[in-house]
Amino acid sequence: MDPDGRFDIRPQHVLLIVATMVLGLLIDVRADIVGQTLLSVAVWAVLLYILGGVARELRFGLMACLAIATLGELFLSLAWGLYSYRLGNVPQFVPPGHVLLLMLGLALARRMPDAVAWAIIGVAALYSLAAAVAGADTLGVPLFFVLVAASVFMPRQRRLYASTFVLALALELYGTWTRQVPGVGLVTTNPPGVAGAFYCALDALAAAAAYFLAARMKAPGDREALDIPGIDRT
């Protein structure tokens, strides 16, 4: 979680991530469970390869992202039923895919001006309001407030939130979202226009988890020197 670039993602790794995501989705829409499993092995291999080249401090956040994303997918898809995948499961490549998306978001955030980040958040606000008034997507308003809360409590992450918000929209075309949101009386589109807020919440939780995990692994006298990317402690 490092939009300022102190823990960089290598350009060749960015290209590898993009190729993995594009080819992976193209293959999976035609694959059965065996093909999906083989694809998952390949995605995990790409993730493990890239993790070997990132800084230890950044790895804390990426591993936290992996754990939280796995639990989130199981809850949102299989337990809550907010969306479903083609084969009725959570594909094994999805959790590592979240980590790859986070790394891609970090690379994009480095090159994103603050004005662009604010513009993306502004467009999300206008869409959420318009879609709610029209009755097309009432889930968008609470999702937008998730984006706002993350931006307020971790302002250093704002460009990362904006970048992953945009990247997530393309990936969410892969899933099938329910029209009626189970249990809360809201409706949404397929995919929700503000679906990227889920990824922003994941980024924020991963950054917080990384800091607290690192703090527990440090000696008490060393905790003031912790410098986990993206964590605002002031």
The domain segmentation of the chain, as residue ranges, is 11-225
Characterize 53-67 residue by residue with b for buried, 16 or more Cβ atoms within 10 angstroms of its Cβ, and e for exposed.
ebeebbebbbbbbbe
Which amino acid is residue 118, in one-letter code? W
Task: Supply the pTM of this predicted model.
Answer: 0.89
User: Mean pLDDT in each 10-residue stretch from start to end of the chain (234 residues)?
Assistant: 65 95 91 96 97 85 94 95 92 96 94 94 96 96 94 89 90 82 94 92 87 67 41 42
pLDDT of residue 174: 67
177 - beta bridge partners? 83
pLDDT of residue 223: 42
pLDDT of residue 82: 93
Q: What is the dihedral of CA 222, 223, 225, 231, to 10 degrees?
A: 160
The whole-angstrom separation of Cα 102 and Cα 165 is: 10
